[in-house]
Amino acid sequence: MSQKKNRNVGIAGIGMTEISSHKENQNQPEMINEAVRAALADAGIALRDIDCVIHGNMELFEMVHQPDMWHVIGTGALEKPSFRITTGGTTGMTLIAAADNLVASGMYDIVMAIGFNKLQEAGSTTGGITNMADALWYRHLQTGALTSTSANVTIEEIGEERARRAAMKYRIMMDKHACLNERAHRRLGLEYDQIENLMKNSPPLIGELRLIHMCSQSDGACAMILASEEKAKKISKKPVWIRDHIAIHREETASNAYFPILSENSHRVAARKLFARNGITNPIEYFDVFEMYDPSAWWGIEWLRDFLLLDGDQVIKMVEDGEFDLDGKLPVNPSGGVTASNPISATAMLKPAEVALQMRGDAGRHQLKREVKHGLASGFGGVMWTELMILEKDLDWQGDNNG
Amino acid sequence: MKRVAICAAAQHEIKSNIWHKRFQDMLMDLLEDVQGQTGFTFGDNGVKNVLTCSDDFFDARTISDNAINDVVGAGNYRGEQKMAQEGLNGIGYAMACILSGHDDVIYFAGHCKESSSASRNQISNMAYDPFYCRCLGLDYLSAAGLQARAYMEKAAVTEEQLAKVVVRARQWASRNEYANEKTQLHPGDVMYSSVLCDPIRTLHAYPVSDGAVALLLASEEKAYEYTDQPIWITGFGNCMDGYDLGTRDLASSNALKKAANQAYKMAGIKQPKKSVNLVEVMDCYAYQQPMWIEGLGLCDEREGGRFIDEYGPAKYNVNLSGGMLAGRPLMIGGLYGAAEAFLQLKGQANEHQASDVNCAVIQSTTGGAGQHQTVVVLER
Amino acid sequence: MAENIQKIAAEELISIQVINSIDYSFSTGPIMGKWFQGLKEKKFYATKCPSCGRTMTPPRGCCALCVVRSEDFVEVGPKGTVVNYDIAYYASPDPLTGKVRKTPYSALFVMLDGSARDIFAHEIKDDDIPKLKRGVRVRPVWNEVRTGSIHDLLYFEIDG
């Protein structure tokens, strides 16, 4: 079942804006343009070298219909082939998967993907997300992406005290990573001795979910340039290769996502299928870094278990033992993750972007000490949708597992 | 280059207000139609990834594709992506998915119910920046009005010629079981219909329309599992023009020329006037039919008016479906064109079948005044 | 830079406030139409998948798991068991009305009696929020005036 790709595709350029709660000094195309220019500069190429541009966001947040039309001022798509492809929170990674498909197809050699959201212009992100629910019956109930249902289940499994402590430890670990990342939106300077205090005193949002557990509302854009093997090697000294990606969706009705009517959620299905077709039997051993789309600390600890195909409280032990720290067994979210920065439709693109920067050794203060050869990145969106991607530093996997 | 085929196409009947069905119900009908034609299934040996086309504004839903995952087969742990432009772009993208080796068969379904919103102009007004053009009231209709004036002057297109385009569209629509507006017209009805957005008259504009289209696309190796007579996607191209109307030459469609050149090059077509024998253009307004024909290189620059008078539409079998002017929803106007061309190439267009069709060109546009243009070439 | 932006902000308008509004109407179609008719009559209708037998509340015309048409109706509930819940302390705007909701309010996930592999969602009565637990039994409380909308069902309350 391994993928037989028509040709290899590499990441040849990465650009992102600073991520912040508000950017009144830039309008939407200007913010996008900052990321586009950064990606072109990173790749060392000019706009004329780009064959095709893909654009994506969730348009009801900023309330701009077919926004790629206006945004052409900043995207650089003028007089070029261009697509607009979206899938919700997963959009950022969908765009990278789509760029990979477009380049691998042979139809375009160099494709630039742009994901962004300027959520402050939306007013309320939670209100905007709630718009995804069926207007006939569910829209008056949904609480955006805010939920305690995951926490409720974890607490039932391992006990209140241990679960709350693990979720808060995870949250503080993410903040410690974010504090090393100059582009991260929220860098709070939390310390592990604040666990007790935050468990009691952070304002409650929904049930067990407190303000500190939840991701931010951010403005930001990310642009990435993908190129065919031949061009990527010419353009970049350190191209990072897209090995494989999988998208897993599930049924529309959200209520069925909050109680397991089936034994596996979309994350576990995605991981199981993607690892199997790439011959990866032990993901914790294989990967050197995992950038996970973790909208809240509670989801963070639950989803790590799914993505890493763990059972019972194995993942909680790993959190407790610091195995996901920057120097742990499998570093998770050296960028600080989504609880630190969440310009939604750029968010899932920031995941492979961070993995690629780590592989190149260009991550800056949050650069991992170990050599990063194999990376995993995930996106989340819709009603529990998953996009999962394997990235590689070297083009050496094909002989072994892919053929 | 490997080849990619369209194995089946299904069209939902187009109406101005399909109030009795949710778009989910419409797409369920199409899924069963395409499965009936091809016997395709979902799963590791069938469709693993699905492509959709819809719009958050028309559906009034953030992540509009979420609402339809069940009825396109993605709800049971399969992949899905949404083409958030006019659906013809999805044919190019699905082609890329298959050529990349990532997929060998893609189910692609698009829908749009323009009737959900009180005014589609309210929606397209939102396509303009929130602090300048939107406040001035610009929308796709008023942008088209400006373009109509510029183009009609440049190519000397007359009211009589536009009336001919509309009358002919309704004649062909009456033979197409899926078409929306079949009321027959006299040229005078068109020429003296009320002015909608000067110089565009009410009968120059496409009627509000609801509809849905589904296709099954497959690699050459896989195509014959689903059909004895695949139709090949031999050319694809798309191109973006500028946003500010003032910076564009509104009277000539540079983006369309570039998109068409890409598609012809991929298809190996050197002289489109000689090779092409069926055309589906997305003529939201009557002036656009000759204008897009010029852009496709099927008549010379400034000759759009003469093309109408000298039987060009008949010679090139332009919009034998009735086209956009007989009513198609905005997000899938071109996708309907592709479904029509598919039927024509297979010889299954019944009452509106053209003879000896082997190379069809389909054009569509996204945005105001044809800002983004897409061209697909289909061959038997 | 930050200082400069503040200076500009003092002199020039760099943000404008707009309320966007588009009027919509939503079709129910026959499947959801039957559901709303049921609510009017204090009944929960579900569709049942002819292939896997699971129920769907509110009814869907297609089983997402089997991808087959499912148009056979069964009645489920009216009582059920709570499988999960959210209690919202954060007031988010209602996208249908723009109004900010009163807190706390709940989102209740309930397995209605007679349903199979299917969770329905609604709210619990405010007074019952402190007593909410997974596994408790609930019963519906209906609006006296019912018009065929989701508001015909006021909320669930703890049964017993």
Q: Which residues from C are below 8 Å from B115, CB to CB?
A: 25
E strand map for A164-259: 204-206, 209-210, 219-228, 240-248
C62 and B32 within 8 Å at the Cβ level: the answer is no
d(Cα A14, Cα A225) in Å, to the nearest integer?
Answer: 6
Q: Which residues from A are below 8 Å from B238, CB to CB?
A: 81-83
Return the closest-CA partner of residue B336 out of B215, B205, B172, B184.
B215
Return the closest-CA partner of residue B275 out of B311, B330, B235, B303.
B235
Give the model's pLDDT for residue A146. Answer: 79
Q: Are A74 and A30 in contact, with CB atoms under 8 Å apart? A: yes
Q: Put residue B295 in one of left, alpha, beta given phi > 0 → left and psi -120 to 50 → alpha.
A: alpha
Q: CA torsion sign, B219 to B221 to B222 to B225?
A: positive
Return the closest-CA partner of residue A17 out of A347, A257, A364.
A347
d(Cα B68, Cα B107) in Å, to the nearest integer?
Answer: 13
Mean pLDDT score, A345-371: 97
State phi, psi for A208 to the nearest 5 degrees.
-80, -10
- The DSSP symbol for C93 reads B
d(Cα C127, Cα B199) in Å, to the nearest integer?
Answer: 63
* Residue corresponding to tokens 């209520």: A255
Contact residues for A105 (Cβ-Cβ < 8 A; gap 6+) = A6, B95, B96, B97, B98, B99, B100
| Closest CA of chain C from A60, distance in Å | 10
Q: Which tokens hold the place of B295?
A: 């852009």
| Cross-strand bridge partners of residue A384 | none
C117 and A261 within 8 Å at the Cβ level: the answer is yes
pLDDT digits (tens, 9 = 90+) for A247-274: 999 998 877 776 666 678 999 999 999 9
d(Cα B92, Cα B233) in Å, to the nearest integer?
Answer: 9
pLDDT digits (tens, 9 = 90+) for C107-156: 899 999 999 999 999 999 999 999 999 899 999 999 999 999 999 999 99
d(Cα B73, Cα A250) in Å, to the nearest integer?
Answer: 9
Q: Which of residues 232-251 of A touch B (CB under 8 A)?
A: 246-251
Mean pLDDT score, B142-152: 97
DSSP conformation letters of A182-204: TT-S------GGGHHHHHHHSPE
C25 or A85, higher pLDDT = A85
Structural domain boundaries enclosing A86: 9-125+218-228
Query: Least CA distance to B368: which residue of chain A?
Result: A69
Q: Which residues from C are below 8 Å from A131, CB to CB?
A: 95
Using DSSP's 3-state secondary structure scheme, residue C143 falls into coil
Best mutation target, B116, B139, B208, to test chain C (most C CBs within 10 A): B116
* Cα separation values, A337 from A59, A173, B59, Å: 23, 10, 32
Q: What percent of chain C has pLDDT over 70?
A: 88
Instruction: Confirm whether A234 is domain-assigned.
Output: no
A23 or A367, higher pLDDT = A367
Q: Are B240 and A79 in contact, with CB atoms under 8 Å apart? A: yes
pLDDT digits (tens, 9 = 90+) for B283-325: 999 999 999 999 999 999 999 999 999 989 999 999 999 999 9
Q: Which tokens hold the place of C66?
A: 């089997």
> Amino acid identity, residue C4?
N
Q: Which residues from C are below 8 Å from B18, CB to CB?
A: 27
Q: Which of residues 54-73 of B touch C (CB under 8 A)?
A: 57, 60, 69-71, 73
Q: Which residues from B are below 8 Å from C30, CB to CB?
A: 20-21, 25
Q: Which tokens hold the place of B349?
A: 């267009």
- Domain total for chain A? 1
Q: Does C26 touch chain A (CB under 8 A)?
A: yes
Question: Where exactly are the structural domains of chain B?
Answer: 4-118+208-223
A5 and B100 within 8 Å at the Cβ level: the answer is yes
pLDDT category at A125 given cuts 50, 70, 90 is low
Give the model's pLDDT for residue C3. Answer: 58
Q: Are B54 and B110 in contact, with CB atoms under 8 Å apart? A: yes
Nearest Cβ partner for A127 among C9, C89, C92: C92
Q: Does C62 touch chain A (CB under 8 A)?
A: no
pLDDT digits (tens, 9 = 90+) for B83-112: 999 999 999 999 999 999 999 999 999 999
| Closest CA of chain C from A124, distance in Å | 8
Q: Residue B163: enclosing H or E segment and its boundaries? A: helix B159-173
| Closest CA of chain A from B66, distance in Å | 6
Mean pLDDT score, B11-15: 98
pLDDT digits (tens, 9 = 90+) for A35-77: 999 999 999 999 999 999 999 999 988 899 999 999 999 999 9
* Cα separation values, C67 from B44, B75, C57, Å: 15, 8, 16
- Which subunits sit against C, judged by 3+ Cβ pairs under 8 A? A, B
Question: Over 50: is that where the pLDDT of B55 sits?
Answer: yes
| Closest CA of chain C from B338, distance in Å | 26
d(Cα C103, Cα B20) in Å, to the nearest integer?
Answer: 37
Q: Helix B288-295 crosses helix B159-173 at what angle (to 10 degrees)?
A: 90
Give the model's pLDDT for residue A216. Answer: 86
Nearest Cβ partner for C24 among B71, B117, B131: B117
B199 or C11, higher pLDDT = B199
Instruction: Confirm whether A299 is domain-assigned.
Output: no
pLDDT category at A33 given cuts 50, 70, 90 is very high
Give the model's pLDDT for residue A222. Answer: 97
B66 and A252 within 8 Å at the Cβ level: the answer is yes
d(Cα B156, Cα B143) in Å, to the nearest integer?
Answer: 19
pLDDT category at A399 given cuts 50, 70, 90 is low
E strand map for A23-87: 52-56, 82-86
Give the model's pLDDT for residue A261. Answer: 64
Q: Does C12 touch chain B (CB under 8 A)?
A: no
* Residue corresponding to tokens 């009559």: C41
B80 and A247 within 8 Å at the Cβ level: the answer is yes
Question: Over 70: is that where the pLDDT of A372 sits?
Answer: yes
pLDDT category at C21 given cuts 50, 70, 90 is confident
Q: Which residues from A are below 8 Å from B44, CB to CB?
A: 1
Q: Which of residues 101-130 of A touch B (CB under 8 A)?
A: 101-107, 128-129
DSSP conformation letters of A86-137: E-GGGHHHHHHHHHHHHHHTTS-SEEEEEEEEEGGGGS-HHHHHHTTS-TTT
Mean pLDDT score, B129-142: 94
C61 and B118 within 8 Å at the Cβ level: the answer is no
Mean pLDDT score, A382-400: 89
Q: Are A331 and A288 in contact, with CB atoms under 8 Å apart? A: yes
User: How many residues belong to chain A?
Assistant: 403
d(Cα C57, Cα C82) in Å, to the nearest integer?
Answer: 15
Instruction: Confirm whether A378 is domain-assigned.
Output: no
User: Mean pLDDT in chain B?
Assistant: 97
Give the model's pLDDT for residue A115. Answer: 96
Nearest Cβ partner for B126 among A5, A64, A129: A64
Q: Which residues from A are below 8 Å from B81, CB to CB?
A: 85-87, 94, 97-98, 247
Query: Least CA distance to C18: which residue of chain A?
Result: A121
User: How many residues belong to chain C?
Assistant: 160
Mean pLDDT score, A373-388: 95
If one counts every other C-beta atom within 10 angstroms of the C-beta of residue A37, the result is: 16
Q: Does B113 touch chain C (CB under 8 A)?
A: yes
Q: Which tokens hold the place of A283?
A: 């993901």
If one counts every other C-beta atom within 10 angstroms of the C-beta of residue A49, the result is: 18
Helix, strand, coil percentages in chain A from 3-state DSSP, rounded to 5: 40, 20, 40
Q: Does B112 touch chain C (CB under 8 A)?
A: no
CATH class of the C2-158 domain in this structure = mainly beta
Q: Which residues from A are below 8 Å from B74, CB to CB?
A: 249
Query: Least CA distance to B21: which residue of chain C?
Result: C29
Question: Over 80: is that where the pLDDT of A123 sits?
Answer: no
Best mutation target, A60, A121, A136, to test chain C (most C CBs within 10 A): A136
Q: Are B6 and B216 in contact, with CB atoms under 8 Å apart? A: yes
Q: Which of A113-127, B82-96, B303-317, C41-55 has the lowest mean pLDDT?
A: A113-127
d(Cα B216, Cα B32) in Å, to the nearest integer?
Answer: 12
| Closest CA of chain A from B197, distance in Å | 21
Q: Are A202 and A212 in contact, with CB atoms under 8 Å apart? A: yes
Q: What would you report as the CA-atom Rg of chain B, rounded to the nearest whole angstrom?
A: 19
Q: Residue A177: enclosing H or E segment and its boundaries? A: helix A160-179
Give the rounded distance of the alpha carbon of C27 from its chain centre.
17
Give the model's pLDDT for residue A127. Answer: 63
Using DSSP's 3-state secondary structure scheme, residue B106 falls into strand
Q: What percent of chain B has pLDDT over 90?
A: 97
Question: Over 50: is that where the pLDDT of A403 sits?
Answer: no
Q: Which tokens hold the place of B204?
A: 């120059």
Q: Does C44 touch chain A (CB under 8 A)?
A: no
Return the closest-CA partner of residue A214 out of A152, A159, A177, A168.
A168
Give the rounded distance of the alpha carbon of C122 from its chain centre.
5
Give the model's pLDDT for residue C1. Answer: 47
Give the model's pLDDT for residue A319. Answer: 97
Q: Residue A279: enclosing H or E segment and its boundaries? A: none
* Residue corresponding to tokens 């899926």: B178
| Cross-strand bridge partners of residue B49 | B79, B106
Give the rounded distance of the alpha carbon of B310 from its chain centre.
25
Q: Which residues from B are below 8 Å from A85, CB to CB?
A: 81-84, 93
Best mutation target, B77, B120, B219, to test chain A (most A CBs within 10 A): B77
Question: Over 90: is that where the pLDDT of A16 sits?
Answer: yes
Give the model's pLDDT for residue B158. Answer: 97
Best mutation target, A24, A32, A69, to test chain B (most B CBs within 10 A): A69
B70 and C22 within 8 Å at the Cβ level: the answer is no
- CATH of B4-118+208-223 among 2.60.40.10, 3.10.20.30, 3.40.47.10, 3.10.20.740: 3.40.47.10
Best mutation target, C12, C47, C54, C109, to test chain A (most A CBs within 10 A): C109
Nearest Cβ partner for A144 among C58, C92, C96: C92
A70 and B127 within 8 Å at the Cβ level: the answer is yes
Contact residues for A160 (Cβ-Cβ < 8 A; gap 6+) = none
Q: Are B190 and B166 in contact, with CB atoms under 8 Å apart? A: yes
Q: Helix A266-277 crosses helix A297-307 at what angle (to 10 degrees)?
A: 30
d(Cα C116, Cα C119) in Å, to the nearest integer?
Answer: 9
| Cross-strand bridge partners of residue B240 | A78, B372
Domain containing residue A118: CATH number = 3.40.47.10
Instruction: Confirm whether A63 is domain-assigned.
Output: yes
pLDDT digits (tens, 9 = 90+) for C78-118: 999 999 898 988 877 766 676 777 888 888 999 999 999 99
| Closest CA of chain A from C86, distance in Å | 6
C27 and B22 within 8 Å at the Cβ level: the answer is yes
d(Cα B185, Cα B203) in Å, to the nearest integer?
Answer: 9
Q: Which residues from A are below 8 Å from C24, CB to CB?
A: 135
If one counts every other C-beta atom within 10 angstroms of the C-beta of residue C152, the result is: 19
Strand B231-240 with B4-11, pairing: antiparallel
Best mutation target, B57, B62, B373, to test chain A (most A CBs within 10 A): B62
Contact residues for C130 (Cβ-Cβ < 8 A; gap 6+) = none
Best mutation target, C24, C31, C49, to test chain B (most B CBs within 10 A): C24
